[in-house]
Structure 1
Amino acid sequence: METLEEAELCFPQINTSCKKRTRPQSESMFIYILLSFISLITVVLNLLVIVSISHFRQLHTPTNLLLLSLAVSDFLAGLFVMPFQIPITEPCWYLGDLVCVLYYVLNVIIVYASVINMVLISVDRYVAICDPLRYSTKITQRSVRICVVLCWIYCVFLSFLFLFDNLKQPGRYNSCYGQCVINVIVAVDIVLGFILPVSTIVVLYLRVFVVAVSQARAMRSHITAVKLQSSVTVTVKKSELKAARTLGVVVAVYILCYCPYYCVSLSSYDLMMGSSSNVFLVFLAYSNSCLNPVIYTFFYPWFRKSVKLIVTLEILHPQSCDTNMMKETTE
């Protein structure tokens, strides 16, 4: 019969094993069900975004290509990162040291890809609002594709740079057998992963807000003759402003979801792996990947229409990729 001390070990047969911390079964079940549900919803919703933008030619715009890249990072978060978050909420890690490090490598890639995509989206809106006459020449599909590729290459490089020591010797920072601990320079992570990109986003959107307000005042002050002459231009500006407002909501939700996690990291307060506080902060951060498609549903009529075509399998019809997605949703 096992002794009480052996029963509390993650690996009773190993003397250097970490000790278990018991959690009420009801609490464990709630965490498992909640994370599994969020993971499934995140995968499904972001897959709808990916299929929509990839399939319908009319949606192949520079802005939507950035949304596509963001949806890919959110999809990968739901498919790979969130499911592994379930064993991480437990006090013991049973998947081995190498899998632990690879999990964090993928985690860093996806998190950094999300925030850099947010920066690119902010730049796109900044140029569209502040320099609309040269937007079509500055922001092209080719330039956006190059930026997206460079974004993902940079994230992969950064993840290996951050975790090189951990990859070279997995498990070297574990204090006992059954831990999943990595060594990252927290200050560098906070600056590159949150403070710098979020500051850039906030500055760009403040500039967009100032220009949008000045444009709105200028529109109201137009004389009747000029108003008739520039009606097309005004419509375009309204469309760009609406897109900026929608993507501004996406950025704001991102900041609200990740801010508590990075604030705790910045305060140097050490949260125990598997604690309720740690689980909540991680849940809040990853829920952002699920919320983005929900925002598109409320603000983008073309997304609602594309989802309807996908669910009803009309997307399988020949020439469905040429469907007019904006016919009933003129902005």
Structure 2
Amino acid sequence: MVLGGGLIYISLEVLIAVGCCLGNLLVMWAVWRSGALNQTTFCLIVSLAMADFLVGAVAVPLAVVVDVHVKIPFHACLFICCVLIVPQQASVLTLLAIAVDRCLRVCIPFRYKTTVTKKRSWIIAALCWILASILGFLPMFGWYNHDTLTNNNSTSIDCDFVAVIPDSYLVHFLFEGCFLPLLAVMITLYCYIFFKIRRQSRGRAGVAAETGAYTRKEHKLASSLVLVLALFIVCWLPLHVKHNITYYNQNIHVPSIAVYFGILLSHSNSMVNPVVYAFKIPKIKQEYRKIWRKGIGQQQQADINTPASNTTDSHDGRIHVRISPQVEVNGII
């Protein structure tokens, strides 16, 4: 990489990492403060925020290490590259779990709370992370570039993602075997959810105001989560397309600037999700406002502006009585 371009890339990565960490910490704090953790969907949203936080705290720094081609042992480089894959897999699996959760909410509204409990939602979130770790660390069990290891005279190499992770794993397994099928399932689920909500709203038109409010609430939350899914696709698809181009037609040279743009775009996805939550999900939006007001001191200012109660003080042996204008005292007003 050219020195100037490398500095720009690293600077952008640092900004994205800071945004990922601060934004997703704020999401987790807001969900916890609002008490929304008692709702199963928000347990999964916290799991997704944790994956996005790890992108900024772990994946981006390791990606920079890989980008500067540090000379380290082959298997250490392979381990680092596998760590980079895990948050993405955790994100796509958690998005699938959220889609299934929303589908159950709409399809079995009366049995939903007994079927999808808080404990079960945390178990599902943990299973998503376990499965993501297994999928991400598969190259450690032999699915790596053996040619890179055998062509070097020593066990140490200039660490590079494409030097240790084979395109067959990225294309056939991650993209064609995991990304596309799960994406198809999620799109199908959300199409069914919106179809179900629309049919319910037509069938229950004029029945009760509460029913209409419930339908609007479910539609709004589903729309917000679809936006999160759409951003995930837009941010990750260019990098997957690049891997497919280089795998199926090795004569085509993808410019370095396009590769780094794809990497930055995929990392930025973890930074924009908290912004979507802030504008689209009411519970998190309200908590953001409370945190903001407290941060700028509006709460303290409100306390100062509260009318003072009746107080007495002494000075030079005399007693002075302060009476608030809003307080009525017998014999005075």
Match of 1:111 in 2: 88
- Inter-partner Cα distance in structure 1 for 2:145 and 2:165: 12
Match of 1:151 in 2: 128
CA gap of 1:173–1:106, structure 2 versus 1, over 3 A, is farther
Match of 1:178 in 2: 158
Contact 2:28 2:49 in 1 (8 A): yes
Following TM superposition, by how much is the alpha carbon of 1:313 offset from its aligned partner in structure 2, in angstroms? 6.4
- Inter-partner Cα distance in structure 2 for 1:81 and 1:239: 35
Matches within 5 A, 1:1-331: 23=2, 25-90=3-68, 92-165=69-142, 172=149, 177-180=157-160, 181-184=163-166, 185=169, 186-220=171-205, 222=206, 227=207, 230-267=208-245, 268=247, 269=249, 275-310=256-291, 312=294
Using structure 1 for the length normalisation, give the TM-score: 0.77
Mark the runs of 5 or more structure 2 residues left unpaired by the alignment. Answer: 297-333
Following TM superposition, by how much is the alpha carbon of 1:300 offset from its aligned partner in structure 2, in angstroms? 2.2
For 1:136, the aligned partner's letter is K
Contact 1:261 1:282 in 2 (8 A): yes
Contact 1:101 1:170 in 2 (8 A): no
- Matched residue of 2:119: which SS? helix
For 1:68, the aligned partner's letter is V
- Inter-partner Cα distance in structure 2 for 1:53 and 1:29: 36
Following TM superposition, by how much is the alpha carbon of 1:183 offset from its aligned partner in structure 2, in angstroms? 3.4
Following TM superposition, by how much is the alpha carbon of 1:95 offset from its aligned partner in structure 2, in angstroms? 4.7
How well do the aligned residues superpose, as a CA RMSD in angstroms?
A: 2.9
Match of 1:322 in 2: none
Contact 1:46 1:72 in 2 (8 A): yes
Percent identity of paired positions between Structure 1 and Structure 2: 25
For 1:290, the aligned partner's letter is M
CA gap of 1:126–1:33, structure 2 versus 1, over 3 A, is same
CA gap of 1:260–1:86, structure 2 versus 1, over 3 A, is same
- Inter-partner Cα distance in structure 1 for 2:147 and 2:284: 43
Q: Deviation per CA, 1:191-228, whole angstroms, max 9, x where unpaired? A: 343111111101101111221222233344x4xxxx2x
CA gap of 1:304–1:174, structure 2 versus 1, over 3 A, is farther
Which has the larger displacement, 178-187 or 62-71? 178-187
- Inter-partner Cα distance in structure 2 for 1:282 and 1:97: 22
- Matched residue of 1:132: which SS? coil
For 1:297, the aligned partner's letter is A
Contact 1:88 1:274 in 2 (8 A): no
Contact 2:52 2:271 in 1 (8 A): yes
- Inter-partner Cα distance in structure 1 for 2:6 and 2:165: 27
Match of 2:319 in 1: none
Following TM superposition, by how much is the alpha carbon of 1:166 offset from its aligned partner in structure 2, in angstroms? 6.6
CA gap of 1:211–1:257, structure 2 versus 1, over 3 A, is same
Match of 1:326 in 2: none
Following TM superposition, by how much is the alpha carbon of 1:296 offset from its aligned partner in structure 2, in angstroms? 0.4
For 2:187, the aligned partner's letter is V
- Matched residue of 1:133: which SS? coil
CA gap of 1:303–1:83, structure 2 versus 1, over 3 A, is same
- Matched residue of 2:96: which SS? helix
Mark the runs of 5 or more structure 1 residues left unpaired by the alignment. Answer: 1-21, 315-331
Flag the structure with higher strand content.
2
Contact 2:36 2:283 in 1 (8 A): no
Contact 1:43 1:75 in 2 (8 A): yes
Using structure 2 for the length normalisation, give the TM-score: 0.76
Contact 2:10 2:64 in 1 (8 A): yes
Following TM superposition, by how much is the alpha carbon of 1:161 offset from its aligned partner in structure 2, in angstroms? 2.6
4+ residue segments displaced more than 6 Å:
166-171, 271-274
